Amino acid sequence: MKRILVVLTLLAVALFAGCRDTSTDISDINTPDTANGTQQTPATPETPETPVDTVAIDTPAVTATSPSAIVPTSQTFNIGILQIIDHPALDAAREGFMEALSDHGITASYDYQNAAGDGSILMTAAERFVNNSVDLVLAIATPSVQTMAGATTTIPIVGTAITSYEVAGVIDSNEAPGTNVTGSSDLNPIPRQIDIIKEFVPHLATLGIAYNSSEDNSVFQMEDAKAYAESIGLTVVTSSVVAVADVQQNMLSLASGVDAIWLPTDNTHANAMPIVGEVSIDTGVPVFPAEESMVRGGGIATLGIDYTQLGYEAGRMAYEILAEGKDPAEMPIRFGMDVGLTYFINGYMADQLGLTVPERLVEYVWNPEE
């Protein structure tokens, strides 16, 4: 019996010692490092940080670096889009806006309304958005933002393809809008555009300006262009229209007494560029619009903004309102000129009018067959 008790005692001691050694091995791997306060767990891989996209343009970029700047994927925003007419530049701005929201993780349901140039349709669409209590409205072009601003003072409105929000009467100032309206402006570098005309038409002495007297943005641009042209010694002749039906006769009359014509980015002339191009060829008087797609339609050249990027900037502003809770009243207007400018030359029209493209601009020549 004594021998049995001794053997059992020795086995118990050995077993206890073995358990203590195993316990030590485990603690070496998993227990907290009390020296630096960190948990060492090499068996569990670290989770990499999710990369955050930023937009590199001249205005301050939005970077979603905190949970408060990330919109829950389950949330869908209802966004109304009010566009005055179909036009390549306006369409590009709309597409850029939607692209920006998608890039920034916004899930949206869009209600797109095109007024086809009809003021009554603009009003009906604006009322529709108010009645449906949309989360935000994108207003494309001056008549759209004016109509929308007249319909609501509470729904956030982001505009784009608008030359002057101040002249349109929808904000207090560019720096501090003070209303439910903010957005991106397509104000072009008008003095530089007129300087380009002088390169194509060295004998330029009298400049014609056609504009729409019923569009505030068109009047604003006309006045700016007239002031600059006169300041460099040019004689300026202005002539206005109120509808596309007036354009042909007005252009013929204006062309009879000028060396070249400059056009602002108003919706009437943008929609009538085929007519403008025909008059230009028939009279031999070159036309220099303020926007690229208008040049494609029958103009000679321009230095203008990128409307896709302009709309993208408006989309970034909408993101800041929807995701970050910013107030449009405190968001300064952003300008397309700060994003970037591009030359565009219509080679076909230059050939038709016998104009020589300045050597420095040859790389920007476009021909329709291209």
CATH number of 300's domain: 3.40.50.2300
Q: Are residues 214 and 355 in the same domain?
A: yes
Q: Are residues 225 and 287 in the same domain?
A: yes
Identify whether 329 is part of a domain: yes
How many independent structural domains does the chain possess? 2
| CB contact set of 60 (below 8 Å; sequence gap of 6+) | none
Q: Are residues 237 and 354 in the same domain?
A: yes
Q: Are residues 322 and 180 in the same domain?
A: yes
| CA atoms of 23 and 20, how far apart (whole Å) | 5
Identify whether 82 is part of a domain: yes
| CB contact set of 6 (below 8 Å; sequence gap of 6+) | none
Listed residue (85, 219, 79) closest to 158, CA to CA? 79
Identify whether 38 is part of a domain: no
Q: Which domain holds residue 100?
A: 75-187+307-339
Listed residue (207, 222, 312) closest to 266, CA to CA? 222
Give the pLDDT mean for 116-132.
97
Q: Specify the pLDDT at position 370.
A: 57
Q: Specify the pLDDT at position 37.
A: 36
Q: Are residues 120 and 80 in the same domain?
A: yes
Q: Are residues 209 and 300 in the same domain?
A: yes
CB 89 within 8 A of CB 300: no
Per cent of the chain over pLDDT 70 is 80
Q: Are residues 182 and 265 in the same domain?
A: no
Q: Specify the pLDDT at position 369.
A: 77
Q: Are residues 354 and 262 in the same domain?
A: yes
pLDDT at 125 over 70: yes
Identify whether 174 is part of a domain: yes
CB 305 within 8 A of CB 340: yes
pLDDT digits (tens, 9 = 90+) for 75-106: 899 999 999 999 999 999 999 999 999 999 99
Q: Are residues 314 and 252 in the same domain?
A: no
Q: Specify the pLDDT at position 265.
A: 94
Q: Are residues 106 and 203 in the same domain?
A: no
Q: Are residues 205 and 120 in the same domain?
A: no
pLDDT at 355 over 90: yes
Identify whether 58 is part of a domain: no
pLDDT at 154 over 60: yes
Identify whether 14 is part of a domain: no
Confidence of residue 14 (pLDDT cuts 50, 70, 90): very low
Q: Are residues 357 and 278 in the same domain?
A: yes
DSSP state of 363: G
DSSP state of 159: E
Identify whether 131 is part of a domain: yes
Q: Specify the pLDDT at position 38.
A: 34
Identify whether 48 is part of a domain: no
